[in-house]
Structure 1
Amino acid sequence: MAESADQRRRRGSVRQRGNSLQVRVFSGVDPVTGKDVYLTETVKGADKAAQRAADKVMTRLLSQVDQQRSATSSVSFGYVLDEWLRTAELDEGTREMYRGYIKRNIRPVLGAEPVRKVSTRMLEALYAELRRCRARCDGKPFVEHRAEGEHDCKDEKCKPHTCKPLAASTVRQLHSIMSGALSAAVRWEWIDTNPARIAKRPKQPQPQPTPPSPAEAARLFDAAYEADHDWGTLVWLVMTTGIRRGEVCALTWSRIDLDEGIIEVRSSYVLRNGVGRVKDTKTHQMRRIALDTETVVLLREHKERCAQRLTQNGAEFTEDMYVFSGVRNVDPTQPYSPHAVSSRYKDMAERLGIDTHIHALRHYSATELLTAGIDLRTVAGRLGHGGGGATTLRVYAAWVAASDRKAAEILGSRMPKRDQRRQGN
């Protein structure tokens, strides 16, 4: 049955605004804000010809809305997310992290929405809401109850809600998840285009690395080596190579060539829910890092200590054993826990009155190399950064600039002096 003019007018309207006509058609309710959504278009003029043009625009917009509502696929966005998670090539730890983001931040808002109706504006509205308050509250004060049903708020320590924005980096991660799922929906021919592709996401925060100073680094190593030679060797190795915490924990003797002064970084050790496993490096790439003479000496001494301990305990040393295996070093077939490394280093730094963490030693290695004039690609290779140095440049831009200044001074010192040029003339 054809829709009457009155029915069409109830779903949309034409109103005069100055010397033009604005066509508005009701498109539905925004799941993020709860507000009515309208498609609008402006027609210049206000005469009869403009009225006819406005009627044509309304017919087109109504048809657009009807196509959204009667899409051939009624697949929900939540279903798309589930299918994408199930089929995407993701590390298991990453997959678990994405499940958490989807459960907390995406599914409650857009999960039930038909995927064909998910728009760029919906995504940007969600990003804005989360940047204002991660709970997406309405701005009115309320109490966050820690228990359901009848309870004593004082005993349960219920607190008034305080808006806490979601970090820009986290919102960018949510955008990446939804964009990946929507791209899959395009490939599966459930939707025609990916609305996340043009959605404006929060700006990527500029990294602010805070490496310890050379004097602080010296104090940290001295304290570590004095407490335990094995622990001191671990701190020194991270300091001089810039390898990641999980990578140093996963390092085995078979990956160290002390004669050539080379270590191969092929894997990383991670703990999730108390269960540890060895996985690929963060960038899924193997890299070889050259060692300086002092580091080779420390590792040789450390290897001898490990072999002696095993001999005393009636065991045999093998190259497949882990280089670092914890405080007591009782079982070299088990790696050092990454969490234990971070905790032990933090405690040591606090005793020294230095505000730092284990990852800052990676920053120390990078910034010292750049300040010394080592080229960006070499530094990126030692750190295991992808993109040929783009990540290194973004994180350590200030130190790259300092290195560039040093390069300029070196070049300037090699140029003929002005008085020499005058004599030549």
Structure 2
Amino acid sequence: MSTAETTAVSTRGKRTRGGRGARRNRSRGSIDRLSSGSLRVRVDAGVDPITGKRHRPTVIVPPGPDDEHQAEVALTRLLNEVDEQRHPKTKVDIAHLVLKYQDERDAARTTVEKDGSLINRHVIPYIGTKNATKDARKTIRALYKDCQRCRHHCTNTNWIEHRTPRKHECDARCRKHQCKGLANNTVRKIHAILSGAYTMAMAEWEWWSVNPIDGLAPPSFEKTDPVPPSTTEAAAIVNEAFRRELAWGVLIFIAMISGARRGEVVALRRRHHDPIKKVLYLREAIAQLDETNELLEKGIKNEIARHIVLDDASNQLLIDYWSALDTAASEAGHNLDDDAFFFSLMPDHSTPLRPRSVTQRYRRMTRAMGLDTQLKCLRHFNATELIAAGVDIRTVAGRLGHSGGGSTTLRFYAAWASEAHQRAAGDLAARLPEHPALLDQIQRAKSAPEAPFERVAARIRSRILAGELADGSIAPSIKEIAATYEVAVGTAHRAADLLRQWGMLSAGGRGKRPLILLPDPQPPTAEQAEDEQPLATAALEPVPRPLDLELLHLGRTVKAFTAEADPADARQLARLLRSSVRRHTAGADADIGDFELIVRNSGEPAVVTVFASL
């Protein structure tokens, strides 16, 4: 056949002669000679489900001595692929594929959002415009390699990684870029998204009958080597958490003894603790969405509702904790019901803590202690200690909420599992450090405020004691406190609640502003009351001044010291005598009648008085 003319074949196979540009017609395909001399093979594959236009797969055969034969072979192959539904019905790109998959997949909202973040950062910007079928495996494999090389997919390493995209002054946190790849497990998540999209397009949308990325293997799993804190470090972490705040200490202690996930701990409500059965139920979890920071209450992972049997000491700790919360809420005019969250910044405990804030606070605390650990390591600590205590692995898996190993035991052998849980709780309690007694955080905040709301409350208390805010006057509003001390409204609320617990602010009510209250002087302790019994002393002028004191035991001087007191006040001298005797005898029992106190004015040799307890 010359280049000047083309033989055309009708749908019935009849050959005809024609000039340049004529075609061979098939029922669903054609071979055309282009002006360049190449042959274009095209078949009809139906309607593209995306664009609604006719989809015509095409192959170009370059000119040559056997180009007609190659064109016939290509035409037959394309027709067979269409007949066997092995040819894709659309020319959709990868971006359209994964976005449609995100819209139609059946998954939790948090999962869809996390996967969407990976798609927007690592898939669409780099391979989104690529055809979803042509060289799909090669394209996606190259993406995996690039993700493992650099998480920023950089082409130029000479740039600065800024700590924030906002306008700022660079500091040590803005560093020269150094390539660091994504973890294999993160790349595996990207593979799971793409694999799910291709599978859904084949099975449900029928875009193709053969998966274009079938056989593409993801990176291998990374071997994790969790390093939980030691028992000594765990004891230090719990003690430090209780020292900082009661609620914070209870949160860390629950995370340690239960092995619960972060979202499960912050989702705990009052109804989830049964003090009679000594059980903590894990039924819900709190998730924090990445894009909007919205809190979402959802079911726990793997949908395995479980319960944690508590030892006696841990159960009593939670009972005391709720008693303290009830007292604080009552003073603030609130009542905590069964839906109240264990941990909240609100006085009525109506909203939970933010999971990411818990992680950040734990990281700051452990770094200040010189420890390199994370919140999730408490979960590893729980599993490690249970296994070390000899608890069987299925019970450990059940307590941790793992989907394999312990789920069957929990569902079908409840009686045996309950006994195993009880044994696990006792064994774990025996290996854990004893948690400290509940510290009086309310009184501690008066002298050593640490949190911002404690510092605000302490400053307002100082103003009340100094008389700047008169007793019975109207207290500053929450907005005024926030503006005066430049803090958030939530911080101002917590400061006002602390003042109520100190007895320096009235509860107020609907339409009534709280009032300033000057606290009554504290009643003396039993020891002070004993010291304040009337004693016979010399009548001297009642003016406290520096004194030189000598402690005599059976007439022999055993100690000399200085103090400021009123030598005419028998009660002050009695307290000085008793305290010096206790220090001298190191707390041992001693007859205070064998001791005397010689009193002199500071720097003068003359004796003012000799004091003895009669």
Check whether TM > 0.5. Answer: yes
Distance verdict in 2 for CA 1:200–1:221, change over 3 Å: same
CA contact (8 A) 1:121 1:199 kept: no
Report the equivalent of 1:286.
Answer: 305
CA contact (8 A) 2:255 2:379 kept: yes
CA contact (8 A) 1:116 1:191 kept: no
CA contact (8 A) 2:336 2:348 kept: no
- 1:133-171 deviation digits (Å, cap 9, x = unpaired): 334455x6555798xxxxxxx99x998754332221221
Structure with larger RCO (C-alpha < 8 A, sep 6+) = 1
- 1:191-250 deviation digits (Å, cap 9, x = unpaired): 122344421211111122111000111111122223323222221111111011111111
Report the equivalent of 1:163.
Answer: 179
CA contact (8 A) 1:115 1:191 kept: no
Match of 1:95, SS state, is helix
Report the equivalent of 1:185.
Answer: 201
Report the equivalent of 1:397.
Answer: none
Report the equivalent of 1:306.
Answer: 325
Q: Which runs of 5+ in 2 are unaligned?
A: 1-22, 24-30, 42-65, 163-169, 408-614
Distance verdict in 2 for CA 1:116–1:253, change over 3 Å: same
Q: Report deviation, 1:362.
A: 1.0
Distance verdict in 2 for CA 1:66–1:100, change over 3 Å: farther
Q: Quote the Cα distance in structure 2 between the aligned partners of 1:322 and 1:373.
A: 34
What amino acid does structure 2 have at the position aligned with 1:76?
D
CA contact (8 A) 2:202 2:211 kept: yes
Equivalences, count? 336
Q: Report deviation, 1:389.
A: 5.8
Match of 2:337 among 311, 318, 328: 318
Report the equivalent of 1:42.
Answer: none
Q: Which stretch shifts more, 284-293 or 169-178?
A: 284-293
Q: Quote the Cα distance in structure 1 between the aligned partners of 2:176 and 2:249.
A: 46
Q: Report deviation, 1:174.
A: 0.7
- 1:257-284 deviation digits (Å, cap 9, x = unpaired): 1111112211111223332221221223
- 1:77-104 deviation digits (Å, cap 9, x = unpaired): 2222121111112222221222222122
Q: Report deviation, 1:73.
A: 2.1
What amino acid does structure 2 have at the position aligned with 1:133?
C
Match of 2:280, SS state, is strand
Report the equivalent of 1:358.
Answer: 375
Match of 1:283, SS state, is helix
Q: Which runs of 5+ in 1 are unaligned?
A: 12-51, 147-153, 391-425
Distance verdict in 2 for CA 1:7–1:355, change over 3 Å: same
Distance verdict in 2 for CA 1:118–1:376, change over 3 Å: farther
What amino acid does structure 1 have at the position aligned with 2:397?
A
What amino acid does structure 1 have at the position aligned with 2:181?
P
CA contact (8 A) 1:238 1:248 kept: yes
Q: Quote the Cα distance in structure 1 between the aligned partners of 2:72 and 2:347.
A: 77
What amino acid does structure 2 have at the position aligned with 1:342?
T
Match of 2:288, SS state, is strand
Q: Quote the Cα distance in structure 2 between the aligned partners of 1:202 and 1:57.
A: 40
Report the equivalent of 1:43.
Answer: none
Q: Quote the Cα distance in structure 2 between the aligned partners of 1:233 and 1:159.
A: 38
Q: Quote the Cα distance in structure 2 between the aligned partners of 1:338 and 1:377.
A: 28
Distance verdict in 2 for CA 1:314–1:158, change over 3 Å: closer
Distance verdict in 2 for CA 1:303–1:111, change over 3 Å: same
- 1:87-139 deviation digits (Å, cap 9, x = unpaired): 1122222212222221221123332333332533332222122212334455x
Task: Determine which structure has more spread, i.e. the larger CA radius of gyration.
Answer: 2
Q: Quote the Cα distance in structure 2 between the aligned partners of 1:224 and 1:105.
A: 39
Match of 1:209, SS state, is coil
Q: Report deviation, 1:64.
A: 6.0
Match of 2:302, SS state, is coil
- 1:355-386 deviation digits (Å, cap 9, x = unpaired): 22221111110110011121111111111111
Q: How does 1:10-409 map to 2 (within 5 A)?
A: 59=73, 63=77, 71-117=88-134, 119-137=136-154, 143=159, 162-187=178-203, 188-272=205-289, 273-326=292-345, 330-388=347-405
CA contact (8 A) 1:249 1:269 kept: yes
Q: Quote the Cα distance in structure 2 between the aligned partners of 1:135 and 1:60.
A: 42
Match of 2:301, SS state, is coil
Report the equivalent of 2:441.
Answer: none
Q: Quote the Cα distance in structure 2 between the aligned partners of 1:318 and 1:369.
A: 34
Q: Quote the Cα distance in structure 1 between the aligned partners of 2:76 and 2:190.
A: 32
Distance verdict in 2 for CA 1:195–1:219, change over 3 Å: same
Q: Percent identity?
A: 32
What amino acid does structure 2 have at the position aligned with 1:189?
E
Report the equivalent of 1:23.
Answer: none
CA contact (8 A) 1:346 1:358 kept: yes
CA contact (8 A) 1:119 1:195 kept: yes
Match of 2:371, SS state, is coil
CA contact (8 A) 1:239 1:364 kept: yes
Match of 2:325, SS state, is helix
What amino acid does structure 2 have at the position aligned with 1:182?
Y
What amino acid does structure 1 have at the position aligned with 2:248?
W
CA contact (8 A) 2:88 2:208 kept: no
CA contact (8 A) 1:175 1:196 kept: no
Distance verdict in 2 for CA 1:108–1:186, change over 3 Å: same
CA contact (8 A) 2:344 2:353 kept: yes
Q: Considering only aligned residues, what root-mean-square deviation do their CA atoms show, in Å?
A: 3.5
CA contact (8 A) 1:77 1:112 kept: yes
Report the equivalent of 1:35.
Answer: none
What amino acid does structure 1 have at the position aligned with 2:260?
I
CA contact (8 A) 1:250 1:269 kept: yes
